[in-house]
Structure 1
Amino acid sequence: MNGDQIRDSFIKFFEGKGHQHMPSASLIPAGDPTLLFTSAGMVPFKPFFMGEQTPPSKRLTSSQKSFRTTDIDEVGDHKHLTFFEMLGNFSIGDYFKDKAVEYCWELVTELFKLDPERIYVTIHLDDEEAYAIWRDQIGVPVERIYRYGDKDNWWGPAGNEGPTGPCSEVHYDGGSERGCSDGRMIPPETLTAQARKELETGEPLPIDGCHPNCDCERFVELWNLVFMQFYQDPAGVRTPLPAPSVDTGMGLERAAVILQGKNDIYETDLFVPIIDRVCKLTGKTYGSDTGTDYSMRVVVEHARAAAFLIGDGVVPGNEGRGYVLRRVIRRAIRHGRQLGLEGPFLTEVVEAVIPLFSAVYKELSENREFILRVIVLEEERFAEAIQTGLPLLEDGFIPLHQRLIGYVDESGLSADRLAVCLERSTETIPDWVLEKIKGSITGRLPSEKAEQREFARTLADVETFVLYDTYGFPPELTAEIAKEHGLEVDMAGFEREMEAQKEQSRSSASFSGSMEMQTSYSDLGLASSEFVGYNLTEQDSTIAAILSGGVPVDHATQGQQVEVVISQS
């Protein structure tokens, strides 16, 4: 089955079981301030589960566009995604565990024709009802039923509050040759006893043997059946829902891996045409080099995600959804550069995404020009950041810290040696930035060698902040590049710098300050600026004046904080 056939057969199966097919909702959740994105199939149906609205049917099915931010930095391996499609069937106060499990087994073994001997199931530690259904009603042998605690087999809520409950997962065994522990499985009863002990002590214990939730790539999680029984409020308090319900989720991409007999999601028909486009652009072959393959997967996955996000109305920005999109696009561009793509290229990759999915998601073809235009503008903006910010990071900050590490390893780092290191960086780091670094680290040099090494291998908060604030470099991208050189980033310090800047902005916007600024502007004798943003996304404009500390100046130098008055914005 190809991806379209898997999606279509799933929906038709549940329509045949009396479920109403619901179209995918937007990636921007409607009326749900607790969520940044639609991150699961049940998100559009939360009001139904909570009894706030009446569903069009008590049985629903859908293929829902979903986006999760938690795995952005993991994308590039064989299994992590930001954007994915979630196939699901939902019972809102109708059937519960027995029917959910029965439908699951019928679809997997009869429609998809998967070998029952290769199917393992997991349940919540204390869900005796689900255990009995799988063992007695379905006939799954006890040696293939595993119990886990809340971390693995309790789902939700999606966001700070919402429906939640225990879950049962269906895993497909890819074969012992793909696993760990020489193919040896830990017995379910041993794992159960260990899970209960972990629950008592609160301490994770090492697991001796392979199992369905193992991090090795032997098992693929195919389907998650969530038994919605509770509503959890922001304080974590759970109360029973008006009626027990069912929320299931099958990732289309994972289903394609199993049903197409592939090793990973990027070998399926959902990704191969996009990978082929990247290969054509770069002249490189996928599968020939580990580093090349990693960067190709980043470009392909992020291009797909960006197309869907923009198609649903998200545009790059510095906060919220816009910032996530900007991160995704800029991470893709950076890995494209590692593949040798110097000029704008991401639109050509997105051009391979749109026709692949537009038959199902028409918003991609309908918004094609808008999607491509947004990508082009962001590529142009980031090209400027790359041109100025990347040399500062790779030729300035990283060599500085490598020299500091060298001093530590040699005989320790003293204040004098620190000063020498900073002095030697004047050709690659602007003076105003060096002054900020000195101000940030003065008096913070540890005396112990181990602590000195940690100090030396961590980019100071101000370094990450300057890259972001002045050059538009996302801190996550700075951290990724630093990691490639064995360095870390002080993210907590960066957040403090950001908060300090916000506080400064709030202070400067106070009543007295704003009146002073108004006086400065009026003294210039300028007409008011014309806002053209309702009709244009960019506009050339004349600089009418420059203010430094409220005083008009003729020019500004790098690093100087000034206000620029323009005729149009």
Structure 2
Amino acid sequence: MSTAEIRARFLAHFEAAGHSVVPSASLLLDDPNLLFVNAGMVPFKPYFLGQETPPYDRATSVQKCIRTPDIEEVGKTTRHGTFFEMCGNFSFGDYFKEGAIELAWDLVTKPVADGGWGFAEDKLYPSILDGDDEALHLWKKVTGLPDDRIARLGPKENYWSMGVPGPGGPCSEILIDRGPAYGADGDFSAEDRYLEFWNLVFMQDELSAVRSKEDFDIAGSLPKKNIDTGMGLERVAFLLQGKENMYEIDVMFPVIEKAQELTGRRYGADHGDDVRFRVVADHVRSSMMLIADGVTPGNEARGYVLRRLLRRAVRSMRLLGYEDPCLPELLPVSRDKMGETYTDLHADWDRIARVAFAEEEVFRKTLQAGTQIFDLAATEVKEQQRTVLPGDKAFALHDTYGFPIDLTLEMASEAGLTVDEDGFRQLMAEQRERAKADARAKKGQHADTSVYRGILDANGPTEWLAYETLETESRPLALLKEGAAVSSLANGEIGELVLDRTPFYAESGGQVADAGIIEFDGGRLEVLDVQRPVRGLVVHQVRVVDGELVSTGSATGGAVLHAQVDPEWRTGARQAHSGTHVVHAALREVLGPSALQSGSYNRPGYLRLDFGWLSSLTPEQLHQIELVSNNALRADLPVSWDYMTLSEAKDWGALALFGETYDDQKVRVVEIGGPWSRELCGGTHVDHSSQIGTVVVTGESSVGSGNRRIEALTGVEGFAYLARERDVVAQLSTLLKAQPDDIVGRVSDLVDRLKQSEKEIEKVRLGQLLAAAGDLAAGAADVGGVRVVAHRVDGAGGGDVRTLCLDVRARLVADRPGVVVIIGVQDGKISVVAAVNAAANERGISANALVRAVAPYIDGRGGGKDDVAQGGGSDATRVDEALAAVTAAVAESAG
């Protein structure tokens, strides 16, 4: 049974049982605790935490997931994979244990002809949390299995929590017996023998403290009991396809087959090669899916994970003997298989391929540079007559230069060296522990939204009128300070105010919150920020600027407040947000459809837009983007919006931002000029494009590998920027006594004349320097029969010092030993060059040794060959001592 068929049967089974089919969310969610979605329940987490009200009682999904802690274990075992798909069914206060068990068992054991998976019941073993007698009874009731066919496991295996206070509960797993070849009878700790492929979580407990997976306090029962299940699609696929592991299933093994073709190696012939083939299959697919969801390679967070995956895939192919670019060969194979389900891979292929192939090219250059750095490190080790490359050197190659440890080991062996792997592993472990500590610290970023949830449950959602009006008469629902309810806010204090209705836009979608005031009888509040801590509730951060605000504690009691958005602020915000859409459309028109927005920020009069692109834009491209944008403004394109389902919006061609989450029940689509710009967006906008006023592109820059940023001004701010540039041009016209159109030519002439003058000055200075060479050669001291010039030159840099030193040596009599050491001091930096003629070399005098003799006096270092060497330093206070050291060193060598 194909993987696509397994997925389809899963969704059809639960849809027939009344579940809403929810499309997979992006791998990127706005969650401070997660780099990526790592489980099927993550998009539903706000419902389980009580932060939001679910729009359905029961749901099912096949969710894209990425897990990164065990990247280095991928391929070594058959259980570790980076990208995977998690099939799940979820109940929010609807059915519970019995329903979950019935639905799972039915699908797993139902004959293939009837739409099931057809697993043999005599191979299946349910497991329960030891002591969960209710689950034991229900499994026996639903399946008819005897006690000895139901495994009782401890909390390490069969209790679930998110690692923080909140919901938790016991689990039941469905295990399959793969036979005695994989382990002993009844040994449920032998994961290969009794393989778990579906986990049913019975979310019933409220946890007040979670110290570890097996150490927590249960404060009580949840008010609503929920079901969260997770079934690994790849695991079921290799079981149903009769394969040994996930790497051999129909959507992954074609990549291994292609890798075999390219390398001439054979999968299954050598364990080391098998690991590399699996790494290639996993990492190629994982990288592709990450790029498809908007990740670009970088040195931090998500970008760093993607970079590691791509580089490990390339490195593995190299270790398999293939040194040509491999991703152009392998990535299309994965696209063709995964694209059967994820059709966006085909539509967005140009961008995906460009990002991946460029990263491989960068890594190939990194390998070249890393090889040079390795050679230096290896030479240093050999000079010290050692045979082991230190762990910190290997770690630096890996961490700083992206040089894989496997390559370091391979090259060390070729150089007759070994590597301190224990030291390297220790440094890697310390780095991982720092990352884990950082992740643990971030766990505290789960904001306690219970107080907001209580306000929402008591009063219902805020009547949000930001699209309709700039002012409302509103009643206060709650007054908070530092997360707790307060009775009042005095003059000058800052707190949070919840109203029954509001005209203020809450920050979202890259648009900052509205500014304005809220007036009440006897006082006034300045609105500093507006947020939605839970869906449906709008919270205003306010400062009391006049009077004292007293809480009524009721939505019906107390005075009515007047909420007023600053109209100038809103006008500027609308111009900037609509301008962002216009620039995005212009960008795609100029660069092509693969130039997709990956993030944005806009405030009144200003916008910035991040987009996936691999190279800086030319001035001509920036000019063209600005021209297309302003032509759209001049065309006075109509701006409109409508609501529809997410699938309808995508069918209509609306663009959705990477990493954003959207409600499939209803999304807002904003159009500017019909299909020219059609995006999912909840921001405020102008009514016609001409109301944006102007778009002035002010800059373009890099924000990470494969990501660029355009910045622009709109409205009055854009005109003000142009006015400032006009003033600069006017001032230059006056200074240069030229018309504006002639300024560029006049400045160009001035620059040329300045360069010519600098060349003439350089000729004079060099002539003076060389003239001194004759005097220095004539004044050479005799040290044991060796002519020695040791001289200090102030104001001379490295190039001048070298030129002077070599010129002086050339003026010394060739058949007599001659030594020249020049030390230059310029802007606090010291340059030293030593030059020795052949006759001095025959006397055993080395330029390299002379530079090393000087180095301690100038706090420097250096080296080179026997005839010419150079170095640098930072301490100019002992230059005279350094020069004296030259004479002493020559005397010792000559003696």
TM-score (norm 1): 0.69
Deviations 1:325-384 (A, max 9, x none): 111111111111011111211232111111212232233223212211111121122112
CA distance in 2, matches of 1:170, 1:460: 44
Residue 203 (structure 2) aligned to one of 203, 228, 244: 228
Return the structure number with greater helix share. 1
Partner of 1:87: 87
CA distance in 1, matches of 2:264, 2:101: 48
Partner of 1:21: 21
Whether the 8 Å CA contact 1:171–1:222 is kept in 2: the answer is yes
Partner of 1:149: 154
CA distance in 2, matches of 1:311, 1:557: 49
Partner of 1:171: 175
Structure 2 residue 358 is the aligned partner of structure 1 residue 377? yes
Q: CA deviation at 1:137?
A: 3.5
Whether the 8 Å CA contact 1:125–1:148 is kept in 2: the answer is yes
Structure 2 residue 430 is the aligned partner of structure 1 residue 472? no
Structure 2 residue 33 is the aligned partner of structure 1 residue 34? yes
CA distance in 2, matches of 1:290, 1:536: 35
Residue identity matched to 2:73: E
Residue 318 (structure 2) aligned to one of 334, 337, 340: 337
Deviations 1:280-303 (A, max 9, x none): 222333223322222111111100
CA distance in 1, matches of 2:23, 2:707: 35
Partner of 1:52: 51
CA distance in 2, matches of 1:311, 1:95: 36
Q: CA deviation at 1:100?
A: 0.4
Identity %: 41
Whether the 8 Å CA contact 1:465–1:475 is kept in 2: the answer is no
Q: Call closer, same or farther: CA 1:497–1:43 in 2, change over 3 Å.
A: closer
Matches within 5 A, 1:289-328: 289-328=270-309
Residue 334 (structure 2) aligned to one of 344, 348, 353: 353
CA distance in 2, matches of 1:479, 1:164: 45
CA distance in 1, matches of 2:279, 2:703: 34
Q: Call closer, same or farther: CA 1:46–1:272 in 2, change over 3 Å.
A: same
Matches within 5 A, 1:92-491: 92-110=92-110, 111-157=116-162, 160=164, 163-176=167-180, 178-181=181-184, 184-185=185-186, 210-211=187-188, 213-215=189-191, 217-230=192-205, 232=207, 236=211, 239=219, 240-390=221-371, 392-393=373-374, 396=377, 423-424=384-385, 459-461=390-392, 463-465=394-396, 467-469=398-400, 471-473=401-403, 487-490=421-424
Q: Call closer, same or farther: CA 1:424–1:44 in 2, change over 3 Å.
A: same
Unmatched runs of 5 consecutive residues or more in structure 2: 111-115, 212-216, 435-697, 709-796, 799-825, 832-860, 864-870, 874-895
Residue identity matched to 1:33: P
Residue identity matched to 1:473: F
Q: Call closer, same or farther: CA 1:538–1:73 in 2, change over 3 Å.
A: closer
Deviations 1:509-538 (A, max 9, x none): xxxxxxxxxxxxxxxxxxxx9754389949
Residue identity matched to 1:230: D
Q: CA deviation at 1:138?
A: 2.2
Q: CA deviation at 1:397?
A: 5.8
CA distance in 1, matches of 2:224, 2:268: 50
Which one has a bigger Cα radius of gyration?
A: 2
CA distance in 2, matches of 1:42, 1:553: 62
CA distance in 1, matches of 2:5, 2:39: 21
Q: CA deviation at 1:175?
A: 1.5
Deviations 1:477-532 (A, max 9, x none): 87999999782244565688999xxxxxxxxxxxxxxxxxxxxxxxxxxxxx9754
Partner of 2:7: 7
For structure 1, which segment, 306-315 or 529-538, has the greater mean C-alpha deviation from structure 2 after superposition? Answer: 529-538
Whether the 8 Å CA contact 2:24–2:61 is kept in 1: the answer is yes
Structure 1 runs of 4+ with >6 Å offset? 474-486, 494-499, 549-554, 556-561
Residue identity matched to 1:94: D
Secondary structure at 2:702 match in 1: coil
Partner of 1:62: 61
Whether the 8 Å CA contact 2:24–2:62 is kept in 1: the answer is yes
Cα RMSD between the aligned structures?
A: 4.0
Q: CA deviation at 1:248?
A: 0.6
Q: CA deviation at 1:180?
A: 2.5
Return the structure number with greater strand share. 2
> Which structure carries more relative contact order (alpha carbon 8 Å, separation 6+)?
1
CA distance in 1, matches of 2:425, 2:307: 18
Deviations 1:187-216 (A, max 9, x none): xxxxxxxxxxxxxxxxxxxxxxx22x314x
Partner of 2:459: none
Whether the 8 Å CA contact 1:462–1:497 is kept in 2: the answer is no
CA distance in 2, matches of 1:69, 1:560: 45
Secondary structure at 1:41 match in 2: coil
CA distance in 2, matches of 1:478, 1:290: 20
For structure 1, which segment, 73-82 or 278-287, has the greater mean C-alpha deviation from structure 2 after superposition? Answer: 278-287
Q: CA deviation at 1:234?
A: 7.7
CA distance in 2, matches of 1:494, 1:72: 13
Q: How many residues align?
A: 445
CA distance in 2, matches of 1:123, 1:24: 29
Q: Call closer, same or farther: CA 1:530–1:234 in 2, change over 3 Å.
A: farther
Partner of 1:513: none
Q: Call closer, same or farther: CA 1:143–1:57 in 2, change over 3 Å.
A: same
For structure 1, which segment, 92-101 or 48-57, has the greater mean C-alpha deviation from structure 2 after superposition? Answer: 48-57
Secondary structure at 1:80 match in 2: coil
Partner of 2:527: none
Partner of 2:802: none
Q: CA deviation at 1:394?
A: 8.6
Secondary structure at 1:66 match in 2: strand
Whether the 8 Å CA contact 2:297–2:706 is kept in 1: the answer is no
Whether the 8 Å CA contact 1:314–1:321 is kept in 2: the answer is yes
Whether the 8 Å CA contact 2:377–2:393 is kept in 1: the answer is no
Whether the 8 Å CA contact 1:220–1:254 is kept in 2: the answer is no
CA distance in 2, matches of 1:122, 1:481: 49
